[in-house]
Structure 1
Amino acid sequence: MPSVLDRIHSSDTGLAIWRRFTRLNLLVSASTLLTRPPFTLTIADAPEMAARRLCHDLLLFHWALYADFRRLATRFSTLAASPVVRMRLEHVTDDSCGKFHVDAVGLRLLCTYVGPGTEWVDPGGKIRRMTTMEVAVFKGSAFPGAGPRVLHRSPPLSTGTLVGQSRLVLCIDAVP
């Protein structure tokens, strides 16, 4: 995994984004989950077990997703210095988290596997949107020390060009 995510520990960085390429097998596995009604699965455990349990709870084991979940959870665990992570996988079809905000956590990892990615405000005040499969780590309000915090939100799915779309989003937090 690229070291770009390590930049989150720099005092002048509030957001680190890994711009990775989309792998077809991962996209196909993730897309099949959007045929189900909207859902939220949350698991807290050591990174490898959390990834395994999350896939188990999907009731259909997707090797590509499992490998990616495990890799991201393990990397996040190191970044957050937390042996236990909380992984939340959501099939989102509404405007949840539609207001720009800073999370009340130390660090948060977000990755949109399918659909429009998380929106964030750059230092110039411009709204940007992550692309599918990009991995971002945000500093939250509970991150120790000074430094920037980046406002972000889920893209609005009830208005504009995104009406009718859905998203598959992974969120990883540290468990204190």
Structure 2
Amino acid sequence: MSTAAAPSLAAPQWDTDSTHWACGDDISVLPRIFEPGITLAVMTRRLDAALQASIAAQLNGTRGISWHWRGGVDQRLGDDLLRHLPAADQGAALVEDIRTIAEAMAYLFDTDTVGVRLRTLEGAMCPRFHVDNLAVRMITTYAGPASEWLPESAVNRAGLGAPHPDKPEPLRDPEAIRQLSIGDLALLKGGGWIGNEGHGLVHRSPQPAAGERRLLLALDPG
């Protein structure tokens, strides 16, 4: 995968069909986030047995995970994460996967540092459809329900932001809600991306079932 160019300043064409997202099972789909008008790039993937076992081990106990890292993507990241896992003796596969993803993020955005968060969640972190006011974020769900998002045709942007009695619902069509799958690597372009103001991808956190926990990874470049 070659280093992607800087975000284009060209005015994007905001079609209401599938032209604003890209999906594929190869890492080459991720640089499409740099294309004007693309607000979501998803690499679909299946988690192998070793990684699934490592994830399950972290969720077997009662202790949650709330780990944050900002820095390089070298061995220090992996060592720090391992110290914060509930089942560190079974954490190698998960740590290796997160380091690989962080390295890809740093390479794609030509940065020496990344911000990384790994959290267990028992409720919806952001239950209302919203747009991130940053340039871009990568997310992947390791366990539990994955993030939901809306195609542009299903969004009423006048309803975004803090709820208010005078605001309409941001969701035009409940049947149009899309959902990522466990393991998917998704780049979400936000409102802070130059040239994408007012067109960030609209998404939300789903509500886990009673007794269910999500394990969510989020990465920011720089």
TM-score by length of 2: 0.71
**Conserved in 2, the CA contact under 8 Å of 1:80 and 1:107?**
no
Q: 1:127 — aligned with what?
A: 177
Letter in 2 for 1:169: L
Q: Deviations over 1:89-120 (max 9, x none)?
A: 00110121111111122110100011110111
Q: 2:63 — aligned with what?
A: 37
CA RMSD in angstroms comes to 1.7
Measured in 2, the distance between the counterparts of 1:56 and 1:151 equals 34
TM-score by length of 1: 0.89
**Conserved in 1, the CA contact under 8 Å of 2:132 and 2:200?**
no
% identity of equivalent residues:
29
Matched, 1:138 2:138: no
Structure in which a larger fraction of residues adopt strand:
1
**Conserved in 2, the CA contact under 8 Å of 1:111 and 1:171?**
yes
Query: SS in structure 2 opposite 1:72?
Result: helix
* Match 2:136 to one of 107, 114, 126: 107
Measured in 1, the distance between the counterparts of 2:205 and 2:196 equals 25
Q: Kindly name which structure, 1 or 2, has the bigger radius of gyration based on alpha carbons.
A: 2
Q: 1:8 — aligned with what?
A: 33
1:1-176 superposed matches below 5 A? 2-35=27-60, 36-48=62-74, 49-58=76-85, 60=88, 62-125=91-154, 126-146=176-196, 148-157=199-208, 162-175=209-222
Letter in 2 for 1:74: E
Letter in 2 for 1:11: P
Q: How far did residue 2 of structure 1 move?
A: 1.4
**Conserved in 1, the CA contact under 8 Å of 2:121 and 2:213?**
yes
Q: Deviations over 1:7-40 (max 9, x none)?
A: 1001020010001122111111111111233331
- Runs of 4+ aligned residues of structure 1 deviating over 6 Å after TM superposition are none
Query: SS in structure 2 opposite 1:124?
Result: helix
How many residue pairs match? The answer is 171
